[in-house]
Amino acid sequence: MAEKTLRGAFPLSTRLLTERVGIAPMIAAVVLALIILAAIFAPLIVPHDPILQDPVMRLKPPSAEYLLGTDAYGRDLLSRVIYGARVSLMIGIGVTIMAVVLGLAIGLVSGFFRTADAIVMRVMDGLMAMPSVLLAIAIVSLMGASIWTVMAAITIPEIPRVVRLVRSIVLSAREEPYVEAAIALGTSMPRVLWRHLMPNTFAPLTVQATYVCASAILTEAILSFLGAGVSTETPTWGNIMAEARIYFQLKPMLILWPGLALSLCILSINLLGDAARDILDPRMGKRED
Amino acid sequence: MTSIWRNLRTGILGATAMALVSALPASAETITAVMHSGLRVMDPVITTAHITRDNAFMVFDTLVALDADFVVQPQMANFEVSEDGLTYTFTLRDGLKWHDGGEVTPADCIASIKRWMQRDGGGQMISDRMESLEATGDKSFTLTLKEPFPYTLQAMAKVSSLALFMMPERIANTPASEAITEMVGSGPFKFVAEEFQPGVKVVYEKFEDYVPAPGPQSWFSGAKEVKVDRVEWVTMPDAQTTMNALINGEIDFMETVPVDLLPLLQGMDEVKSEVLSPLGSVTIGRMNFLHPPFDNPKIRQAALMAMSQEDVLTALIGNPEYFKVCGAIFGCGTPFEFTDGSETLTSGGDIEGAKKLLEEAGYDGTPIVLMQPTDVTTLTAQPIVAAQALRNAGFNVDMQPMDWQTLVTRRASQAAPADGGWNIFFTNWIVPEVSGPLANVMLNGRGDQAWFGWPDDPEIETLRTEFASAADLGTQKAIAQKIQAHVMDNVNYIHLGQYYSPSAWSEALTGVTKAPFPVFWGIEKTEG
Amino acid sequence: MPIYFLRRVLAAIPVMLVVAVFVFLLLRLTPGDPAAILAGDMATPEQLDRIRETLGLNDPLLVQFFRWIGALLQGDFGTSLISNKPVIDLVADRMWPTIWIAIITLSLSVIIAVPMGVLAAWKQGSWVDHLVMTFSVLGFSVPVFVIGYLLIKLFAIDLRWLPVQGYKAPSKDLAGFAARAVLPALTLASIYIALIARMTRASLLDVLNEDYVRTARAKGLTEARVLFRHALRNAAVPVMTVIGTGFALLISGVVVTESVYNIPGLGRLTVDSIFARDYPVIQALILLTSGVYVLVNLLIDLSYSLLDPRIRY
């Protein structure tokens, strides 16, 4: 794996890029950029306060004032979907950062030190054996729902996957002559880990990170659906849909708009992840004959 | 390991056997109903959960029962009260039998009453005044009091929040802190234990030896005549799914139809919908009296002033045909309907007034921990609307979402809000549960002994004691009115209005009767 | 082979122990009191304490933990705090719907996804490939419950071909069972199909580049023969791996699907038990699903040697 990723250098020109991965990732990048911009500038672009209720205006169809209509509390759906991007992306990115940082740290140590490895990997196997959504519901439900507990609950089951990836890379990289040489020369362990082993993990971790991010956003939606998500005072795509689920037949658009935003976002992230993998790992890409 | 497999195997075989048993002949009439939640706890003395009470009314019978006019009627027993109001003599009807074949005896009833007295507020009041409770014949027993307590029969007949059910002595001898495990009653339906799946399915069969009480059926009194072979309660987690199942003819009865979904049933001949409980339910907010800022009556008043019943009810119910802005804490349509002190609640709230009060009280911006349940659809709207009203008035609101069971656990905590306690939460009651000064547990003002929130309110306790010994309705009404005014002034809780949940059922069912919660006697099913 | 098998089984013990400790600590160190839930609205503090005492919740954590493990080793999974039924009975009652749905989902996924993947690999770079890949990415980009609701709306409400919800035991009513299993299985399969199709395609592409496939081609074997005789057999190993690791995903999906279609299976039992703080049931169920996960992956490891003659233990 490590050899392969070492071979997969980043391509230099965009022309080459489109040729190798096709047009879909380009569109995905644009869509994702738009979603991120909307999330960042949400307070400037939303037409209404996303949590301001107006009982008289509840469940109204789309109109000039409310472009996507209103929800059961008379709140503007468009504004909520835009704000939802903020929290959903924050959860996605937050979980990714936490999972990657923790996973990297644990994975490096575990791959390098044999004694730690045995214990760490048993714990990781244990975490991995537990069904992630059930674990997350249990954590959120037991600790109380807030953005932080939701993020923690989604992060914990993701860590072992990152650890395993990092560990496998470290295990093969430490056999490399330059690493052995560094150790023989008496380079300190932290330095070996930091300077020589960690860089090997960047490429595969980038690919893994996109999947973690996509799955985190999706898991948040599922948690909300099952009644273990954050309060609808903080709109997320997941809880907007969860709150609207009983109106599915009467007002399907209440679910479909946030659903569309969520699906587009995840689709984009996944497509980018695929593209990254194709570039970084040529054997998975175009047939070479 | 082997025993695991043995257990699993018996489970599997049991399940298959079960499948065979339930493949009844096609002529068997079965009503399949979806109730408001799944049955998990079976003991109606241990828990106040409504579904547990509903189940108990199927399986057990009551000594006396309320009719639609709130009048206590004989059910299992006739009763006589001595002129001095100290002696209550109960005489059991002939032919009453338990589901296991045994006869109903006074000893069974005495054990049942004693167990109930340990848990129920009304029961405790009787118990405090009780001289003796003993059998006086094969069919009769006597309750003797030390002082007159006119509320006695009302307490024994109440339909909710620990109704008094008769159980065989061996079951009623279970300590009141432990749940009973056997469902053997003398009610109109037998509980089919082999088919019970907690949280999923409850099955009842008609009890062939049941002897209906004389007189026409009215609420829980009169003849409970079962006209079908079986009733099955199945749990569905999702109202949308339940509606579709009803429309497709997969189920016969749905207890609670969200009002917003009623349009789906419009123009449909095969499904009827109607409000079965004429009194409906109330929704309330309760504050914690132990901790700032709601330990200050002025700040409680400010919170009440900020609230608007109409806003809450619109968000909760939607269609105004199904709710009622009503300032009476004992409920509109009850004997004690007074509305003193409720003007701001019923006229859209007074944000400016609330702001002023809050300033006068010197509110320092302490955040208010508002607990919001996320998994109970009838309780999700109140916190959201209330939070906005409170913020508008200048409160600093910290809304904390949690599932209902967490809320139930947390509201029992007297700790400071910042250390895992709370400031305010919302809940619903059916009107009979709040319709009188003694039945309404939120009016208990005995500090630590009171309901969650723990107000120490000697004034209301005096009023309630007076009410308990009031001999006639006129005096009772006068005291109830004082209590209404006091509750609004002291803000023991915030009464947020009354609402009516429609039920829906297939046209194959006839004889569906009105009652505060669904009853399945009197219903016939014709094959459509 | 037997020694390898034994070693793998022994290796599962510490994993299960980690799961047990984790679940136990998670439940005991977080707020939530089953006694308060059992006691209901009118309980006094003293009554609460008596209930806690009878449930053994007042004992030290270590005592509670070892009591639980001790009982487990004797095959006793405990008794539900809420319904007072033995956990083993609850599980036995509720496991068949889940098992059946899982089996149907798996078969459906393999039947649909493998040909999709083969087609995509064979026509690599063509529009067929792009279509399959896009579709498969879509499969795990749309939340399971949205897919579920869309299918219900289309097939159960608008077309009225299938029932909206519910479950019937196949032993009792086979047609009823099948009619009710189709939509949940399709819903659940959406993720699996996506995963398996992608993995089939990727591993097939790998194999197609191997020397022996090139040799086969050079020998002039037909494309179909190359694909099915040589390539697919070898591509089966990674596909099996995906089925194993995807098992966790399946469990997650089951939880949602059972709630959308109102299937009384283990997923709903777990969620209900979590919300009700029914500690013995939660503990047993998470331990059980983890155990099944470990077992499934063990079986898949062992199946490698059957599928790929190059792997020997």
Q: Is the pLDDT reported for residue B75 higher than 50?
A: yes
Which of C31, C90, C276 has the CB atom closest to B420's CB atom? C31
CATH number of the domain that residue A27 is part of? 1.10.3720.10
CB spacing of A262 vs C143 below 8 angstroms:
yes
Q: pLDDT band for position B11 (50/70/90)?
A: very low
Structure tokens at B472: 């006639």
Whether residue B474 is found in the same domain as residue B350: yes
Q: HSE of C166 in the Cβ direction (CA atoms, 13 Å)?
A: 26
**Residue A21's pLDDT is what?**
66
Among the residues of chain C, which ranges form H helices? 2-28, 34-39, 45-55, 61-73, 87-122, 127-139, 144-151, 174-208, 211-218, 223-225, 232-261, 266-276, 279-307
Whether residue B77 is found in the same domain as residue B207: no
Looking at the structure of chain B, the number of domains it has is 3
- Chain C partners within 8 Å of A274 (Cβ): 133, 137
Using a pLDDT cut of 70, give the percent of chain A over it. 90
List chain C pLDDT tens, one digit each, 313 residues: 677 778 777 888 888 899 999 888 888 877 667 777 666 655 666 777 777 887 788 888 889 899 889 998 888 888 888 778 899 988 988 889 998 998 899 889 888 988 888 888 888 878 888 888 888 888 878 888 888 888 888 888 788 888 877 788 888 888 888 888 889 999 999 888 888 888 888 888 877 777 777 777 777 777 777 777 666 777 777 777 777 777 777 877 888 898 888 888 998 899 888 888 888 899 899 998 888 888 888 888 777 766 665 555 4
Q: Regarding predicted confidence, which is higher, A277 or A97?
A: A97
Whether residue B255 is found in the same domain as residue B128: no
Chain B nearest-CA distance from C116, in A, is 33
Q: pLDDT band for position B190 (50/70/90)?
A: very high
Q: What is the mean pLDDT of residues A35-47?
A: 93
The interface predicted TM-score (ipTM) is 0.82
Whether residue B493 is found in the same domain as residue B507: no
Each residue's pLDDT tens digit, B296-313: 999 999 999 999 999 999
CATH number of the domain that residue B259 is part of? 3.40.190.10
Chain C nearest-CA distance from B406, in A, is 6
Helix (H, G, I), strand (E, B) or coil at B166: strand
Q: Which of B507, B412, B491, B515 is nearest to B70 (CA)?
A: B515
**Residue B146's pLDDT is what?**
95
Whether residue B241 is found in the same domain as residue B113: no
**Contact call for residues B287 and B425 (beta carbons, < 8 A):** no
Q: Regarding predicted confidence, which is higher, C313 or B28?
A: B28
Highest mean pLDDT pick, B37-51, B66-80, C192-206: B66-80
**Pairing mode of beta strands B368-373, B397-402:** parallel
**Residue B24's pLDDT is what?**
40
Which of B372, B399, B406 has the CB atom closest to A141's CB atom? B406
**Residue B396's pLDDT is what?**
95
CB spacing of A252 vs C153 below 8 angstroms:
yes
Strands (E), B104-214: 130-135, 140-145, 165-166, 189-191, 201-206
Phi, psi of B275 (to 5 degrees): -80, 120
Q: Regarding predicted confidence, which is higher, C69 or A248?
A: C69
Chain C nearest-CA distance from B209, in A, is 28
Each residue's pLDDT tens digit, B228-285: 999 999 988 778 888 888 988 889 999 999 888 888 888 888 899 999 988 899 999 9
Highest mean pLDDT pick, A2-6, A25-29, A121-125, B484-488: B484-488
Phi, psi of B455 (to 5 degrees): -70, 140
Q: Is B187 domain-assigned?
A: no
**Residue B479's pLDDT is what?**
96
Highest mean pLDDT pick, A5-19, A199-213, A265-279, B273-287: B273-287
Q: What is the mean pLDDT of residues B443-459?
A: 91
Q: pLDDT band for position B76 (50/70/90)?
A: very high
Q: Regarding predicted confidence, which is higher, A205 or B17?
A: A205
What part of C 49-108 touches B (C-beta under 8 Å)?
50-51, 54, 74-77, 80, 82-86, 88-94, 96
**Residue C194's pLDDT is what?**
86
Q: What is the mean pLDDT of residues B34-42?
A: 86
* Cis-peptide, bond into residue B293, ω within 30° of zero: yes
d(CA B189, CA B180): 18
d(CA B292, CA B299): 9
Q: What is the mean pLDDT of residues A67-90?
A: 92
Looking at the structure of chain A, the number of domains it has is 1
Q: What is the DSSP string of C195-216?
A: HHHHHHHHHHHHHHTSHHHHHH
Q: Is the pLDDT reported for residue B16 higher than 70?
A: no
Residues 6 or more apart whose Cβ sits within 8 Å of residue A27? A271
Q: Is A73 domain-assigned?
A: no
Q: pLDDT band for position B202 (50/70/90)?
A: very high
- Average pLDDT over chain B reads 89
Q: Is the pLDDT reported for residue A3 higher than 50?
A: no
Which of C153, C255, C290 has the CB atom closest to A133's CB atom? C255
Chain A nearest-CA distance from C213, in A, is 13
Which of B260, B264, B311 has the CB atom closest to A55's CB atom? B311
Q: Is A33 domain-assigned?
A: yes
Question: What is the residue extent of each domain of chain C?
Answer: 2-86, 88-307
CA B217 to chain CA centroid, nearest Å: 21
**Residue C42's pLDDT is what?**
59
- Average pLDDT over chain A reads 83
Which of A228, A243, A250 has the CB atom closest to B261's CB atom? A250
**Residue B247's pLDDT is what?**
86
Which residues constitute the domain of residue B139? 50-173
Structure tokens at A73: 């509390």
C142 touches chain A (CB under 8 A): yes
B258 touches chain A (CB under 8 A): yes
Q: List the Cα angle B66/B69/B73 in 5-degree steps.
A: 35
- State the greatest distance between any 2 C-alpha atoms of chain C, in Å, as a whole number: 85
Q: Regarding predicted confidence, which is higher, C279 or B370?
A: B370
Q: What does pTM read for this prediction?
A: 0.80
**Residue C40's pLDDT is what?**
62
Q: What is the mean pLDDT of residues B171-177?
A: 89
**Pairing mode of beta strands B253-254, B30-34:** parallel
Each residue's pLDDT tens digit, A213-239: 998 999 999 898 888 888 888 899 989
**Contact call for residues C42 and B48 (beta carbons, < 8 A):** yes
CATH number of the domain that residue B154 is part of? 3.90.76.10
| CA dihedral of C99, C101, C105, C111, whole degrees rounded to 10 | 90
* Helix (H) or strand (E) segment spanning residue B227: none
Whether residue B483 is found in the same domain as residue B427: yes
Q: Which amino acid is at B473?
A: L
Q: Is B189 domain-assigned?
A: no
d(CA C115, CA C111): 7
Using a pLDDT cut of 90, give the percent of chain B over it. 66
Whether residue B122 is found in the same domain as residue B77: yes
CA distances from B213 to B57, B183, B191 (A): 15, 22, 20
Q: Is the pLDDT reported for residue A13 higher than 60?
A: no
C129 touches chain B (CB under 8 A): no
Q: Which of A125, A283, A286 to mutate to test the interface with C (most CBs of C within 10 A)?
A: A125
**Residue B402's pLDDT is what?**
80
Using a pLDDT cut of 70, give the percent of chain B over it. 94
- Class level of CATH domain C88-307: mainly alpha
Q: Is B12 domain-assigned?
A: yes
- State the greatest distance between any 2 C-alpha atoms of chain A, in Å, as a whole number: 76
Q: pLDDT band for position A16 (50/70/90)?
A: low
Q: Is A3 domain-assigned?
A: no
Helix (H, G, I), strand (E, B) or coil at A118: helix
**Pairing mode of beta strands B509-510, B87-92:** unpaired
Q: Is A171 domain-assigned?
A: yes
**Pairing mode of beta strands B494-499, B281-287:** antiparallel
